[in-house]
Structure 1
Amino acid sequence: VEKHQEKLRAQSKLMYETLYAEQIVPALLEESEAVVTADHLHTMHQALETVETDLTETIDATEAVEERKTRRSERSVIRKTKKKCADLRDRELKYTAQLEILGDRNSYSKTDPDATFMRMKDDHMQNGQLKAGYNLQIATNNQFVLGFDLYPNPTDTRTLPPFLHTMLEHFRHLPEKIVADAGYGSEANYEMIMDDY
């Protein structure tokens, strides 16, 4: 998504610079701004619609055949540019929405945006597959479930800090000893437990 958005923004910038040079759209960007946003593209689309309407009125009012042909070809170029501008705007909005859903994850499922693609355990055919899923964390004491939470990140090392924080909110204090398997072991987690809990 980031690569596609980068290419799209380069195309948008080039279109803006061309339309600005031809005095079709007003100045939309400051000198320091490098990104043409969806709002800029919408403004460009409206300016192109105005130009198209003016050309249509001119064509309707013109009697000379050659001048009408010239104006029609100009209008054709404006219509194509307007369509391209609308396409760029819609794609910019789509990519921005996808990046917002993605957050700090590296993937998400289109059917369940909260789920992340994770490498699941092998099935009976020994096929390890990427599937949309959640990382379930459960806290127990003497085989009683004290609490649970779902996380979108696939690794346990990154779920331990928020899970301990959730447990602390529910119970106001944590047990003297926290026992977890090796999947939670990282220097950052050890330091976090020693400093915060």
Structure 2
Amino acid sequence: MRMKEDHMNNGQLKPGYNIQMATENQFVLFYTVHQRPTDTRCFKPHLEALKNTSLPFPKNVIADAGYGSEENYIYSLDEQFESLIPYNTFLTEQKRSYKKDIRHASNWTYDEYKDEYTCPNNRKVLFKRYLTRTDKNGFTRDFKVYECEDCSDCPLKSQCTKAQGNRQVQYNPVYEELKAKAKVSLWSEPSAQIYARRKIEVESVFGHIKGNRSFRRFSLRGLAKVQTEFGIVAMAHNFLKVAGLHQLLSGKNRGKQKQVEKNNSFFSTCFILGTY
């Protein structure tokens, strides 16, 4: 895996494990260990492993943009649980520079009746064919391919594409629809408040374990041993949280007691994050 600790600044690969954690109120409720370098491919097996336990399945699943793939969105719909997961360009699309960039077909004019785009140089980008791609993990995606009628002598071509021929656009109807639904959910008032908690939820847990507890490297090798080792770390973290809450509820900090009781809704919301 490529680690954040890259002392030589050359993107070197190091042996490591991808830890996925489900938390609520900064308690580690569930975790899984993976030998997959990307968080995207850990989302489904992590929740499948959770389903096979005696723990209640969460009503809401919140994760960062590293999990926002078409496969994960479809999995959320199939399993019928609410998910708040931005896609990888969600924040970028809000920037003014993105909205003015003519490379993105989403900034072009689209005629739904004719099923064609009009590029910034007022040339037609027509539908040509369907395309199917299968990822390395076996997931199949369907695309619609559009191609500009003529890009020759276009003064904007250098800003639009690096291709030698006419500009092509590959559009994934299913993924774009799922992204639109995710955007609506993330911008709604209740969902925005829930998603805002992610930064102080699972991010804080990793921060405590890595920074305050100084656990930055596994001492053992092998999935089974690493699973046990991290379980001990997670258990120690939870014990320290319980000790802190006991002190908080003992009467010394009455002002914060009501807030703690308000947030104590066991496993109604699941926050997920990797890696380690």
What TM-score range do you get, normalising by the shorter chain?
0.3 to 0.5
Bigger radius of gyration: 1
Which is helix-richer, 1 or 2? 1
TM-score (norm 2): 0.27
More strand by share: 2
RCO higher in structure (CA 8 A, sep ≥6) = 2
